C-alpha cells in the first residue's frame, strides 16, 4: 500500500516567515509533485520532480521553491510567506509514466499565514 506522508496536517505561520513543507513517500516513485488546492480552483501544480535533484516549475511556482535531495523526500519551501499563500497543500508521487500514471496523494497540509 503506497504511503505518502506530509509532515504536518495544520500549520500557522506569520507573514514573512520561511516555511518548509515536507513530504515522504515509501514506494520508490521517481515522480513527486506539489499541488495547491483552493475552493473553485481545483488542484494547481506548483512544482514537480522526476528524479533526485531535478525540479521543474508547474503552473504557479511564484513564491515557492522545492528541494529533492533524496528520492523519497520532496520539500516545498515558501521563502517569505504571504497571506495569499494560505491554502491546502497536497504532495503526490507517481511511478514511471509521468502524468499518465496514477498519482498517490498525501493527506494534505492546511497552511494559514497570518
Contacts of another protein in 28-57 (CB under 8 A)? 31, 33, 35, 40-45, 48, 50, 56
What is the distance between the alpha carbons of residues 105 and 94, in angstroms, rounded to a whole number?
A: 9
Place of cell 521517481: 30
80 binds another protein per the rule CB under 8 A: no
Give least dist CB 42 to another protein, A. Answer: 4
Residue 16 or 96: the one with the smaller Cβ distance to another protein is: 96
The residue from 55, 87, 106, 113 that contacts another protein (CB under 8 A) is: 106
Q: Does the footprint of another protein cover residue 71 (CB under 8 A)?
A: no
- Closest of 86, 81, 88, 101 to residue 31, by C-alpha: 101
- Residue 114, burial from CB neighbour count under 10 angstroms (0-12, 13-18, 19+): exposed
Q: Where along the sequence are the contacts to another protein (CB under 8 A)? A: 4, 31, 33, 35, 40-45, 48, 50, 56, 58-59, 90, 98-100, 102-103, 105-108
Amino acid at each position: 500500500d503506497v504511503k505518502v506522508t506530509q509532515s504536518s496536517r495544520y500549520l500557522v505561520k506569520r507573514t514573512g516567515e520561511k516555511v518548509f513543507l515536507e513530504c515522504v513517500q515509501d514506494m520508490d516513485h521517481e515522480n513527486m509533485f506539489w499541488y495547491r488546492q483552493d475552493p473553485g480552483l481545483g488542484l494547481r501544480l506548483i512544482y514537480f520532480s522526476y528524479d533526485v535533484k531535478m525540479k521543474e516549475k508547474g503552473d504557479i511556482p511564484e513564491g515557492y521553491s522545492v528541494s529533492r535531495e533524496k528520492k523519497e523526500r520532496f520539500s516545498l519551501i515558501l521563502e517569505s510567506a504571504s497571506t495569499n499563500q494560505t491554502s491546502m497543500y497536497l504532495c503526490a508521487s507517481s511511478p514511471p509514466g509521468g502524468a499518465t500514471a496514477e498519482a498517490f496523494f498525501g493527506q494534505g497540509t492546511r497552511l494559514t499565514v497570518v
